Amino acid sequence: MRLAQALRAATERLRAAGIEDASLEAEVLLRHALRLDRAHLYARLQESLSPGDEAVFRSLVARRLTHEPAAYIVGQREFYGLDLETAPAALIPRPETELLVEAALARARLPDRRASRDPFLIVDVGTGNGAIAVALAVHLPWARLIAIDISREALALAARNARRHAVESRIAFLQADLLSALSCPADVIVANLPYVRSDDWEPLAPEIREHEPRIALDGGADGLREIGRLLEQAPSHLRPGGSLLVELGPPQAEPALALARRRFPGATACILPDAAGLDRVLAVDAPVL
């Protein structure tokens, strides 16, 4: 069987199973089986697939047909231009979360903030596989970071991603419940916490519902259980002039904004939209005393 034939057959099977972007998913799995980048795969499409490689590819496709996410099957996902290890211990990084990174970078690069902070400290709450913390460390070589998660397994995964991108010396990993163990004030706090409403859990795609950690997704009845707790804790852990950035879903935007304005009197608080125009990030910029 030629590579092109194997790719077509896998695409048809994935599409018949209701897998979105079936052709792209088949390509990702074939590239992983053959350990090829995209350019080399397409340059070899008319070559024959060896029996061993065909068996590996078939096993990968069989796993995807059970709705196991491709990112867990191949063990990696790109986020903010970085290849990151993924595993069921943590959420798969998503494109909309890159808005958190962009908002944090914009605030960290303000001349007055950088000049007045030594060291400049960013705290990533609910770090998961470390996507946000690692991306910020790569793009802010003068900053220090603390990556917090309640899961020891997620922190181990985040640490491996930090080592992969040579930023482990500037990220401290802390197992804790939100900010409960943070002993120093931060210049920027970023957080991607659970915000799926409990009633919305069952309708989720099986890739999410059956494979990603529910503890990192289910935000309670209104989706604000953990975000609300963070907003209560954050004022005492943020330096004057600091910023709090929290990912959320559109249903949580207005309630979270109202709560933030109560918890941070005098601060500037707003909701940032993602590329699709959906309410995605709560941004709170505290006043300078």
Report the percent of the chain where pLDDT is more than 90. Answer: 95
Report the percent of the chain where pLDDT is more than 70. Answer: 98
User: Which helix or strand (DSSP H or E) is residue 53 part of?
Assistant: helix 51-65
Instruction: Summarize pLDDT for 157-214 with one digit per residue, the tens.
Output: 999 999 999 999 999 999 999 999 999 999 999 999 999 999 999 999 999 999 999 9
- Same domain membership, residue 96 and residue 57: no
What confidence score (pLDDT) does residue 111 get? 73
pLDDT higher than threshold 60 for residue 103: yes
- Same domain membership, residue 117 and residue 18: no
For 220-239, letters b (16+ CB in 10 Å) and e give eebbbbbbbebbebbbebbb
C-beta separation of 128 from 154 below 8 A: yes
What confidence score (pLDDT) does residue 27 get? 97
| Helix-, strand-, coil-residue percentages of the chain, each rounded to 5 | 45, 20, 35
Cα distances from 168 to residues 39, 93, 107, 147, in angstroms, run 31, 19, 22, 11
Separation of alpha carbons 209 and 138, rounded Å: 32
- Same domain membership, residue 180 and residue 94: yes
How far from the centroid of its chain's Cα atoms is residue 94's Cα?
5
Residue 111 sits in a domain whose CATH number is 3.40.50.150
What confidence score (pLDDT) does residue 208 get? 97
- Same domain membership, residue 167 and residue 58: no
- Same domain membership, residue 244 and residue 149: yes
- Same domain membership, residue 55 and residue 106: no
What confidence score (pLDDT) does residue 221 get? 97
265 is a domain residue: yes
Nearest to 265 by CA among 284, 280, 252: 284
Q: 187 lies in which domain range?
A: 87-285
What confidence score (pLDDT) does residue 115 get? 54
- Same domain membership, residue 251 and residue 125: yes
- Same domain membership, residue 236 and residue 202: yes
- Same domain membership, residue 269 and residue 126: yes
26 is a domain residue: yes
273 is a domain residue: yes
Query: Span 202-229, mean pLDDT?
Result: 97
What confidence score (pLDDT) does residue 12 get? 97
Instruction: Summarize pLDDT for 241-275 with one digit per residue, the tens.
Output: 999 999 999 999 999 999 999 999 999 999 999 99
Residue 280: strand, helix, or coil: strand
| Total count of domains within the chain | 2
What confidence score (pLDDT) does residue 242 get? 95
What confidence score (pLDDT) does residue 117 get? 57
Query: Span 41-50, mean pLDDT?
Result: 94
- Same domain membership, residue 98 and residue 61: no
Separation of alpha carbons 148 and 139, rounded Å: 19
124 is a domain residue: yes
pTM of the model: 0.94
Name the band, by pLDDT with cuts 50, 70 and 90, for residue 289.
confident
- Same domain membership, residue 153 and residue 211: yes
Instruction: Summarize pLDDT for 230-242 with one digit per residue, the tens.
Output: 999 999 999 999 9
